[in-house]
Amino acid sequence: MSDSQSPLVEADRLATELAGPHPPTLLDVRWRLTGPSGRADHAAGHLPGAVFVDLDAELCGPPGPAGRHPLPEVAGLQAVLRAAGVRTGGQVVVYDGGDGLAAARAWWTLRWAGHLPVRVLHGGWAAWLAAGLPTSTEPATPAPGDIVVAPGALPVIDADGAARLAGEAAGVLLDVRAAPRYRGEHEPVDPVAGHVPGAVNLPATRLVDAAGRYPAAEVLRDRLAAAGVVDGRTVGAYCGSGVTAAQAVLALHLAGRHDAALYVGSWSNWVADPARPVATGETPAG
């Protein structure tokens, strides 16, 4: 799958592909920010043939100074994906409960790992159920995959890179958290409230709705342009821990910006160093 093809697949289209001679590998990544794991949800019902993969424990590294959802260790990620049946060059579809957050981070992780043919089920599990499509409680037993993880296929930035991007006239760093968190009025998770100086607030709710569905590409381009994402400007995104920001990177891909960088550690990494500056208020500079 090339970047010219959509990273989204609708439920009816996926059902047709699953009934065909070369069905995609299905990864169920249902997840909740505060837990518990989505494994019990998977056991209660899932797309036929889907394998559950734990976002926290298997697609991300352990939380710490690098952030709450840092990059995974390469060998471990490769083992997880092979156990799930991911084969080199084989189509993969990821889905979550419906808000699109975990699926977007899984999509981003596979793309970062060098696996291009991966798509997100648009609307997730909820869209599949709404379409009246079949479900299963049978555990999947996929043949082992042979994927070779080659990290770095999507751009990432660290704290220094985020600071540089936010300070460049030819760059824009998007903070996709809710406005009160950006302004420093409310911080439910991390120990410090505020934003990276120079970052522009574009809440993720402007890019995807609560059902995990994205607007048309031209609508996304208009909303991104209003935040300063225009041709000729480098763009990166961050959130609290790199999950919602991955959803923003997916939206940027839909809008044609395949060069968008993810600040994986995001705010949870930024505030791990008390020497890093923090801005508050409505404006980028605070």
The secondary structure of 49-78 as a DSSP string is T-EE--IIIIISPPPBTTBSS-PPPHHHHH
Distance from C-alpha of 25 to C-alpha of 85, rounded to nearest angstrom: 7
Q: What are phi and psi of 159, to 5 degrees?
A: -60, -45
Distance from C-alpha of 59 to C-alpha of 135, rounded to nearest angstrom: 24
Look at phi and psi of residue 42 and say left if phi exceeds 0, alpha if psi is from -120 to 50, else beta. alpha
Active-site choice (14, 86, 239, 248): 239
**Would you say 201 and 240 are in contact if contact means Cβ atoms under 8 Å apart?**
no
Strand-pair category, 118-121 with 51-52: unpaired
Distance from C-alpha of 235 to C-alpha of 213, rounded to nearest angstrom: 22
Residue type for position 97: G
Distance from C-alpha of 165 to C-alpha of 245, rounded to nearest angstrom: 15
Give SS3 for 94. Answer: strand
CA distance readout (Å), 283 to 191, 220, 231: 21, 22, 22
Distance from C-alpha of 20 to C-alpha of 43, rounded to nearest angstrom: 25
Question: Is 60 noted as a catalytic residue in this protein?
Answer: no
Just list the catalytic residues.
239
